[in-house]
Amino acid sequence: MVIYTVKRGDSVYKISKKYGIPMQRIIADNQLENPNVLVPGQALVLRSDYLFHKAYQKQDISSIAKMYGVSEESLLAANPEIESTGQNLYGKMVLIPQPPNRKRSIEVNGYAFPYTPMNVINSTLPYLTYISIFSYQVKPDGSLIPIPDENIVNAALNGNVLPMMVITNIREGGSFDSDIAHVILTDEQVQNTLLANVIESLRDKNYRGLDIDFEYVFPDDRENYNRFLEKVVNALRPLGYIVVSAIAPKTKEDQPGLLYEAHDYKFHGSILDHVIIMTYEWGYTFGPARPVSPIDEVEKVLQYAVSVIPPEKILMGMPNYGYDWTLPFVPGSAARSITNLEAVRLAAKVGAEIHYDAKAQAPYFNYYDSDKRLHEVWFDDARSIEARLKLVDKYNLGGASYWTINNFFLQNWLVLQNMYRIKKI
């Protein structure tokens, strides 16, 4: 696989001829709505068992080998008609041998909402180990607000994907609530009621695991949260269920802030089957324009995480969205959420060129709207996805977890599948 960055004057036809890949495959793999419009700076996935390269002016074996990350020896072996490494190959079609891909197996989780279209679910299931259906909201009395999840659970099981029930401390009609978490974590009777309701739902809905996503927990409830996790594991593991948690992206144990302090990395890692680290939302709805998941920030989190959590238990969070900010940023204003495909289509519509931030390893562009307001858009493409997924191997992580799979971005799954084998149940 090659990730190609579109240049001015490129077309699908030219790229197809240059790399020896059918036009229809390029169009389908990159979900090109209008194949006649490519955006300068746009990333394209080029998938083939072999590739051809049409040499530029003054290119030789050495420069082509460097471009594709292959050895000069392998290029000469694949192209015996080329006499030497220094031969000028201008205009010649050079066969690029693809090295054997020695993939290792990883586990992949995807969060879905009950209203996620089933065609999106079914298209995504081949790339998942787990699917976490978001979410059963816990009420202060230990009861659960049910969700219509039967269709997704059944589809998951038919696709050899393990469905996980998600419980959250989200208040009905609101957001994450510290007070609800406090009641659950400190009242034993409420905990018993909650556990009984969770087990009943797991059995009735045919789930295979539980994902606990308690956020904005009071710092004083840190040990109470640990004891609650221990109680859940002791109740569910003998019944054959796995238990995982979703935790905030910390870079040190004593990181201050309501989002972080009650999440005890070492304890979660010691007792749970997996820990999902939410390594995204540096750029967020009510914050200033910046990458959603800059690789330098993600790596800082992982460096701390693997020092206290067994790496094979960690699923690194991956966003599947971007944001469109209006500039200048005004505190209290909100960015517009945008899918990765929508971002490229917007760039095409407004005539913007897509740039790539080397430090953050993320694509972005700017444009003016009809009211002459400047915008900045950050999103993900095959390049940024590949860069972050390399961290799974670098830190020997168990895998990755996507927030969310509510829209189907094929580039992501092709890159993932090219890099790793995906474990199935």
Q: What is the 3-state secondary structure (H, E, C) of the chain?
A: CEEEECCCCCCHHHHHHHHCCCHHHHHHHCCCCCCCCCCCCCEEEECCCCEEEECCCCCCHHHHHHHHCCCHHHHHHHCCCCCCCCCCCCCCEEEECCCCCCCCEEEEEEEECCCCCHHHHHHHHHHCCEEEEEEEEECCCCCEECCCCHHHHHHHHHCCCEEEEEEECECCCCCECHHHHHHHHHCHHHHHHHHHHHHHHHHHHCCCEEEEECCCCCHHHHHHHHHHHHHHHHHHHHHCCEEEEEECCCCCCCCCCCCCCCCCHHHHHHHCCEEEECCCCCCCCCCCCCCCCCHHHHHHHHHHHHHHCCHHHEEEEEECCEEEEECCCCCCCCCEEECHHHHHHHHHHHCCCCEEECCCCEEEEEEECCCCCEEEEECCCHHHHHHHHHHHHHCCCCEEEEECCCCCCHHHHHHHHHHCEECCC
Residue 242 CA to residue 315 CA, distance in Å, equals 14
CB 76 within 8 Å of CB 389? no
> For this structure, is 215 an active site residue?
yes
Q: Distance (Å, rounded) from C-alpha 116 to C-alpha 403?
A: 13
Q: Are 153 and 186 in contact (CB under 8 A)?
A: no
Question: What does the longest C-alpha to C-alpha distance in the chain come to?
Answer: 81
Q: Which of 215, 261, 342, 386 is catalytic?
A: 215
Q: Which residues are catalytic?
A: 215
